[in-house]
Amino acid sequence: MVDYLFPKKSHRPPVERGDILVFKLPSDTSIVYVKRVVGMPGDTIEMRDGVLHINGNPVKRERLDDFIEQTSSKAMRRVPRFRETLPNGATYDTLDLTPDSQLDNTREYNVPDGHYFVLGDHRDHSIDSRVRTRVGYVPASNVVGIAIGVYYSGETRSLTWRTLKPAGRVH
């Protein structure tokens, strides 16, 4: 399935925790990435046993029903799904396919001024700020916009518009 995202562009987007950020990859600005903002300038970010910690505090994580995922071989598998609630009240679902995966326990990251820390919602299949050599901290100058909607064109060739808005955030 192909996803088309529509970012809200502005000269200086008011980025907040929970936003889905469209940005130029710091290591290669010809590539555009899409990830969720979890860390703001001055924050410390750490993953401990798969739980996101912001400024030393664990982010609320509640277990939901499993997500049913189709693998590349067309097999169906159950993936543990969680709802995270950030300190500003933004909520979203994450997937955690492998307990104790390589990025489930990290060092503490100190987000520099003028930068953001981003994570993918499918935590075990995401190259994000935890991978410093590929993404690392995202400079504000690399922000293209904040994703406000998705337009799908899949195998069925059906088209759907879905608004992307973290709970508590008004665009």
Rounding to the nearest 10 degrees, give the CA dihedral for residues 9, 15, 17, 23: 60
The arithmetic mean of pLDDT across residues 39-52, rounded, is: 97
Confidence band for 2, pLDDT divided at 50, 70 and 90: very low
Confidence band for 57, pLDDT divided at 50, 70 and 90: very high
Tell me the DSSP string of 5-71. Answer: EEEE--SS----TT-EEEEEETTEEEEEEEEEEEE-TT-EEEEETTEEEETTEEPEEEEEEEEEEE-
pLDDT digits 0-9 by tens, 80-124: 999 999 999 999 999 998 888 889 999 999 999 999 999 999 998
* pTM, rounded to two decimals: 0.83
Residue entry with tokens 């995966």 = 101
What share of the chain in percent tops pLDDT 90? 64
In the sheet where 57-58 sits, what is the strand order? 57-58, 51-54, 44-48, 109-110
Contact 21, 34 (CB under 8 A): yes
Angle at CA of residue 62, ends 64 and 98, nearest 5°:
70
Contact 3, 152 (CB under 8 A): yes
| pLDDT number for residue 150 | 59
